[in-house]
Amino acid sequence: DSGVTQTPKHLITATGQRVTLRCSPRSGDLSVYWYQQSLDQGLQFLIQYYNGEERAKGNILERFSAQQFPDLHSELNLSSLELGDSALYFCASSVAGDAYEQYFGPGTRLTVT
Amino acid sequence: EDKVVQSPLSLVVHEGDTVTLNCSYEVTNFRSLLWYKQEKKAPTFLFMLTSSGIEKKSGRLSSILDKKELFSILNITATQTGDSAVYLCAVFLNAGNNRKLIWGLGTSLAVNP
């Protein structure tokens, strides 16, 4: 158990819908990272927040957005969902703002039908 | 374009064999290289490498970075069935406000008894 929690564990929704994934980092960690992992694309870095501010941006679509709240938990919002958005979404956390040792949550499996 | 390439994509060995996994990169503003192990769940951190030629070891696993030739290797000696996993390599870039993690697609290792 990494200490990073993610909810929900599984999510099934229809195309065009919007969902919110939630992540609570390990106690004391200030950085949260979001990743998308699909079979054909591997692990894709989406976005990083550090102490409430956006720190780094990867391949995040405009239909996706994220934020980190004052209590350091983070939410990833996915809207206008498409079939291709079906994937495992991981959240990771680290103490520092730069990508050193990251601890991954168990992931949220999103299925878009 | 920044990229991280891992080889081989897949590897099947017998218990007791030694394996070497490769990670090569072409990036600007290299900061560090990280290795992760992913079984049927979230990736777990193995090593972080920032300096050339300094080997990091953890039990039967070791890794080294060559910043001149732009690659890293991960060695696993006396493999066990529990080493079966996907091994992921990631490179962290840091250029002022441009920070990101680039992940390879992974090497899938299967260790047969």
Nearest CA in chain B to A56: B99
DSSP state of B83: G
Antiparallel, parallel or unpaired: β B61-66 and B56-58: antiparallel
CB contact (8 A) between residue B92 and residue A107: no
A90 contact residues in B (CB cutoff 8 A): 42-43
CB contact (8 A) between residue B42 and residue A107: yes
CB contact (8 A) between residue B103 and residue A33: no
Residues 6+ apart with CB under 8 A from A17: A81, A112
Looking at residue A42, what is its pLDDT?
A: 82
How far does B100 lie from chain A, in Å, by closest CA?
6
CB contact (8 A) between residue A104 and residue B92: no
Q: Are A56 and B99 in contact (CB under 8 A)?
A: yes
B104 contact residues in A (CB cutoff 8 A): 42
Looking at residue B62, what is its pLDDT?
A: 97
Looking at residue B97, what is its pLDDT?
A: 67
A55 contact residues in B (CB cutoff 8 A): 99
Task: Identify which has the larger pLDDT, A2 or B112.
Answer: B112
Distance separating alpha carbons of residues B17 and B31, to the nearest angstrom: 32
Nearest CA in chain B to A104: B42
Tens-binned pLDDT, residue by residue, of chain B (113 aa): 889 999 989 999 999 999 999 999 998 889 899 999 999 889 999 999 998 888 999 999 999 999 999 999 999 999 999 999 999 999 988 877 667 788 999 999 999 99
Answer yes or no: is pLDDT of A99 > 70: no
Among B100, B102, B105, the residue to mutate for chain A (most A Cβ within 10 A):
B100
Distance separating alpha carbons of residues A98 and A73, to the nearest angstrom: 18
Nearest CA in chain A to B89: A43
Question: What is the arithmetic mean of pLDDT over A40-59?
Answer: 88
